[in-house]
Amino acid sequence: MTGPRYPALIQSLPETVPFVGPEVQERTLGRPFRARIGANESVFGPSPEAIAAMQAESAEIWKYADPTNHDLKHALAADMGCSTDNIIVGEGIDGLLGYIVRLLVEQGDTVVTSDGAYPTFNYHVAGFGGVLHKVPYKDDHEDIDALLSKAAEVNAKLVYLANPDNPMGTWYDAAHIEKALDQIPDGTVLVLDEAYIEFAPAGTAPKIDPEDPRVIRFRTFSKGYGMAGARVGYACGASALIRAFDKVRNHFGMNRAAQAGALAALGDQAWLQEVVSKVSSARNEIAKIAAGHGLTALPSATNFVALDCGKDGDYARAVLAALVESGIFVRMPFVAPQDRCIRVSAGKPEDIAAFAEALPAALDRASKP
């Protein structure tokens, strides 16, 4: 009796996952977390209008979703100031990143990213046999100039940049991004991940011609709109590139209720602004708590705060482990020197209070040999 015959590429990949979910950790602990403030979800939830739309659509869930995403695409095109031909909808940014890699990267092709940036993109590249070249962060920012310089050096098909950044929360203003566009080498596409753009200061989102073939920008309903579990992402790019997604995408990949929820969420901008305000207040409170215990909060344009623990990665990991043990779910960057930090998502007042209560003991425990 024989089993499946894996291609050599798949056999060569490590059997690992980029993230350990909080549910897995809760099962290990044997109890639920007191505060779930580690995955950059919006604890404030979706718009009530989005919830109502999803509930209403659940009775129609026996139907497949519209494979063209017609209504949502039209609303997104109006919001982005482009044609529907410039919009693709998919299963979160994660799913769309998989599609863009599948479209443009074959075995041996080079791709550039930052060392310590969003790891799911790297998994897609490895899964299709791409060769990753990583550039260090500079002053806790992804170094856009170094990324594009490396892309020219290695003839990269794709360059990944998150603005605002995950896991550090830092950002570039629009002018910096716009100026860098002319550095993109011929034949290279900039993958601009704007998952946290709703939380960023005015003037962060660059003005880019939707038909510019050098850039594709990705956004999501997971963060500001509070719909992480619905898995709705979208991308805006040149119409020829967007059409090419039809060659590889899962045409029935979207959830029908999620489509309706995203459409309603997009129409409720008042709720989005309320969430943005609550996130800002939570970030300020997290920074205040951190300062009270000798930690430094990095400026953030996202719904989380990276807290510099002031020592090395081993110390930060010990702090994180102690917080998790006490029932506070947080995460941290994976790569030095950013791994000197822990990363705390914005939460409700009771979540932040639980973090404040647990932090002193966690720091004390981490400091003991």
In this predicted model, what pLDDT tens digit does every residue of 338-347 receive, in sequence order?
999 999 999 9
Phi, psi of 199 (to 5 degrees): -95, -10
pLDDT by residue (tens digit) across 306-326?
Answer: 999 999 999 999 999 999 999
pLDDT band at 368 (very low <50, low <70, confident <90, very high): confident
Q: Is residue 192 located within the same domain as residue 324? A: no
Helices marked H in the chain — which ranges?
8-12, 22-29, 48-57, 70-80, 92-104, 119-127, 144-154, 174-180, 239-244, 256-267, 269-292, 313-325, 349-367
Mean pLDDT over 125-133 rounds to 97
* CATH assignment at residue 185: 3.40.640.10
* CATH assignment at residue 284: 3.90.1150.10
Q: Is residue 103 located within the same domain as residue 131? A: yes
| Block residue for tokens 């490590």 | 14
Q: Is residue 316 located within the same domain as residue 223? A: no
CB 35 within 8 A of CB 345: no
Mean pLDDT over 349-365 rounds to 98
Q: Is residue 122 located within the same domain as residue 194? A: yes
Q: Please give the Cα distance from 280 to 355 (Å, whole number).
A: 17
Residue numbers of the domain that contains 351 = 8-45+270-367
Q: Is residue 33 located within the same domain as residue 59? A: no
Q: Is residue 111 located within the same domain as residue 137? A: yes
Domain boundary pick from 241, 268, 295? 268
DSSP 348: -
Q: Is residue 101 located within the same domain as residue 243? A: yes
Q: Which two tokens stand for residue 121?
A: 């993109």
CB 135 within 8 A of CB 117: no
Largest CA distance in the chain: 63
Domain boundary pick from 268, 287, 314? 268
Q: How much is the pTM? A: 0.96
pLDDT by residue (tens digit) across 37-81?
Answer: 999 999 999 999 999 999 999 999 999 999 999 999 999 999 999
pLDDT by residue (tens digit) across 175-234?
Answer: 999 999 999 999 999 999 999 999 999 999 999 999 999 999 999 999 999 999 999 999
CB 161 within 8 A of CB 191: yes
DSSP 299: P
- Say what the pLDDT of residue 202 is: 97
Question: Would you say residue 3 lies in a domain?
Answer: no
Element (H, E) at 341: strand 341-345
